[in-house]
Amino acid sequence: MSAAVLPAFWVIIPAAGIGSRMRADRPKQYLELAGRTLLEHTLDCFLDHPRLKGLVLPLAADDPWWPALPVAGDARVRRVEGGSERADSVLNGLLHLLELGAKADDWVLVHDAARPNLARADLDQLLAELADDPVGGLLAVPARDTLKRVGADGRVAETVDRSVIWQAFTPQMFRFSALHRALADALVAGVAVTDEASAMEWAGLFPRLIEGRADNLKVTRPEDLDWLRQRWAHKG
C-alpha cells in the first residue's frame, strides 16, 4: 500500500524512565549510537513521515539531557512532563494531543524511546493493516525459542506452547478516545499495565498483532546496545 493512502497519525514517545538495568550514568535513551543518542534515532523513525500530525515527548521534569540535543529545538516535537509510570506519561501525552487538536477517532501510535531500529516498512505496514481496524494493534514477532514456565524454586514447571506466544513490540496503535479511556480506567482501578495493549485488553478489547522485524530491538541491557552498535557499524 502506498504512503498516500496511509492514515494520518499522532505519536507519543514516553521517555521519562531511568532504565536502571543499563547500569549507565544517564537514562538509556540518551546513550550514544552511531554518533547520536538513541532518542534522536527513535524520533527520526517518525519525524519525516508524511502522515505524521504531531509528536509528543513526555520527559522527566528535571531532565537535563534533552535541552542539549539539536532536536530539542524542532517545532514538530512537543515536550510534556512525564509521570512516574509509563501509563501516566502516555496519559499526559494524550492530554497534550487534545490541546493540539486530536479527535476521538484519530490514530495514536505509542513507541518506546529506546527502540531506535524501527524499519519504515514495518511502520507503514502497521499503518496500512490497521487503518480500518475497529480496535487497533501493535507490531509483534512470534516466539522463536522454547519457553519454560518456572516455579518458585527456580526449576522448570512446564514447557509452554510457543506457537501461541508472541513478543510485543512497538509502535502500538489505537484510537485516541479508546486508548485514553482504557488507560484512565485502568489507573483508577489500580490495574498495572505494562503497555498500551494490556490496557486495551483489560478494557475487554482484542488488539491485532502485526508481524514485524525481529531487529526492532528495545535497548534494555548493555548487550542490546552493543548488538545495535555492531549492526549499525555496517550501515551506509
Model confidence over 28-41: pLDDT tens digits? 999 999 999 999 99
Q: Which three cell numbers stand for residue 212?
A: 514485524
Residue 216 has pLDDT above 90, yes or no: yes
Predicted local distance difference test score (pLDDT) of residue 73: 95
Who's near 109: CB < 8 A, 6+ residues apart?
Answer: 9, 10, 11, 12, 46, 126, 170, 171, 172, 173
Predicted local distance difference test score (pLDDT) of residue 22: 63
Residue 70 has pLDDT above 70, yes or no: yes
Residue 4 has pLDDT above 80, yes or no: no
Number of other residues whose CB lies within 10 A of the CB of residue 39: 25
Mean pLDDT of 211-234: 93
Predicted local distance difference test score (pLDDT) of residue 3: 44
> In the chain, what percentage of residues exceed pLDDT 90?
88
DSSP string, 76-102: TEEEEE--SSHHHHHHHHHHHHHHHT-
DSSP string, 22-46: G--SS-GGGSEETTEEHHHHHHHHH
What CATH number is given for 3-232 in this structure?
Answer: 3.90.550.10
Residue 210 has pLDDT above 80, yes or no: yes
Model confidence over 83-131: pLDDT tens digits? 989 999 999 999 999 999 999 999 999 999 999 999 999 999 999 999 9
Bridge partners, 12 (sequence order): 56, 110
DSSP secondary structure code for residue 15 in this structure? B
Residue 2 has pLDDT above 50, yes or no: no
Whether the Cβ atoms of residue 168 and residue 211 lie closer than 8 Å to each other: no
Predicted local distance difference test score (pLDDT) of residue 234: 75
Quick check: helix, strand or coil at residue 169?
strand
The CA-based angle 71-72-78, given to 5 degrees, is 110
Q: Supply the pTM of this predicted model.
A: 0.94
Using alpha carbons, list the distances in angstroms from residue 108 to 40, 125, 141.
20, 15, 21
Predicted local distance difference test score (pLDDT) of residue 215: 95
